[in-house]
Amino acid sequence: MDFELTQDQRAMVNTVRELVQDKIKPNALKYMDGTFPWENMRELAKIGVLGMAVPEEYGGLGLPVLDTVFVLEEIAKGCYVTAMDVMGEVGTQCRVVSTFAPESIKRKWLPGVCTADTILAICMTEPHAGTDVGNYRTNCDIKGDKVILNGVKTLISRVGDAHLYVVFTRVNKIPGRGGIGCVLVEADRPGFEITAKYHTMGGEHLAEIRFNDIELPLENLVLKEGGFKKMINAFNTQRCLNPSVSLGLAEGAFEEAVKYARDRTAFGKPIGDFQAIRHKLAEMYRDIEASRSILYRAAASAKPFPDPYLAAMAKITVNEMSLRVTSDAIQVHGGYGFTDEFPVSRFYRGARYGTLGGGTTETLKELVGKKVLADFPVNGFLGMNNF
């Protein structure tokens, strides 16, 4: 497939790249304490980045998943924390609202996403159930024209800064996956309680939220029971955006390793003159380019959401590649790579999240493996076209 950027895509990528390298990357270290990067978000909003997933009629750009992959890749080269917060505005939560919410909800919230006046958060994981969606205990009961929400969600990003929470929940206590729907919760609703906060090795904060008899209007229930299939289709977007951050982290670490290999000397010559370093760089470059191809292909399959199996394979491949490449970049730097003053350590810490969020690597391998055994023909090989 040809992934040559269009003129518009190239212009957007170049604009983002310039902003990241000039303003975002030099200040990345300041956000390692969990501070929300408001300054970066507002700068990115000015050039349209936060509105990429918002339809044009609500003030956004209405761009496809592939374009958001290009942009997140660039942001991650400069600052993991900022890239993750941008992903919150262009990822599953935004696309759930823009695809499934009633018109009144779209007009109320989506314009603010474009300007950084509305920060979104997605609530899926529970203390006892992450990937095991069918065992969610969080529940909302429909009572006339109201919805009453109770439960606990954990490891949630942007808590305390987000204005609107996209909460996947059981509806009317219907058991199993068939009972899963989605409700929107404003941060200022009575009964919304932050019960724990965790600082991650990547720099951002994650938190636990308790919903205590939160009363919501019926229009806030954007997916009723039976919404699991729609939810998981939308979530395939996240399985392309998560690895786009991983790809950007790998590229950023690789660029730093190349610069260091050129400048650092040992035994009277640049360390890049040693075969061991050259071969390591060659392998890093190979892995990045191979991973980029499968990710772009998965993102390009979105109609409007990516193919689930391509997205799963892209996420597995890119997440694992990013861990290898960022680790090797530290090795190229020697002891300096282990310090906070050199960005490769931050790239590695960010990359470590990739295989955990958006479906663990083990879960996605199981998904793909079952599909292969069920449907893959043994008399020909055309990749995913076989399915």
Cβ-contact 217, 95 below 8 angstroms: no
pLDDT of 2: 65
Residue 206 pairs in a beta bridge with 157, 198
List CB contacts of 356: < 8 A, sequence separation 6 or more: none
pLDDT for position 217: 97
Q: Give the list of residues 6+ apart from residue 130 with CB closer than 8 angstroms, or none.
A: 124, 155, 360
Of the candidates 44, 61, 59, 63, the one whose C-alpha atom is nearest the C-alpha of residue 112 is 59
Strand partners, 197: 207
Per-residue pLDDT in tens (0 to 9) along the chain, 387 residues = 666 889 999 999 999 999 999 999 999 999 999 999 999 999 999 999 999 999 999 999 999 999 999 999 999 999 999 999 999 999 999 999 999 999 999 999 999 999 999 999 999 999 998 778 888 999 999 999 999 999 999 999 999 999 999 999 999 999 998 899 999 999 999 999 999 999 999 999 999 999 999 999 999 999 987 777 887 888 899 999 999 999 999 999 999 999 999 999 999 999 999 999 999 999 999 999 999 999 999 999 998 889 999 999 999 999 999 999 999 999 999 999 999 889 999 999 999 999 998 889 999 999 999 999 998 887 655 555 555
DSSP helix/strand/coil, 369 = helix
Strands (E), 138-179: 139-143, 146-157, 164-171
For position 77, what pLDDT does the model report?
97
Compute the distance between CA of residue 62 and CA of residue 58 in angstroms, rounded to an integer: 9
Burial 226-250 (b: 16+ CB within 10 A, else e): ebbebbbbbbbbbbbbbbbbbbbbb
pLDDT (0 to 100) of residue 382: 55
Helix axes of 228-263 and 275-300: crossing angle, nearest 10 degrees: 160
Q: Per-residue pLDDT tens for 127-171?
A: 998 778 888 999 999 999 999 999 999 999 999 999 999 999 999
pLDDT of residue 131: 77
CB half-sphere exposure, 221, CA atoms < 13 A: 26
How many CB atoms sit inside 10 A of residue 275's CB? 7
**CA dihedral (46, 47, 50, 55) positive or negative:** positive
Give pLDDT, residue 231: 78
Measure the CA–CA gap between 240 and 91, rounded to whole angstroms: 9
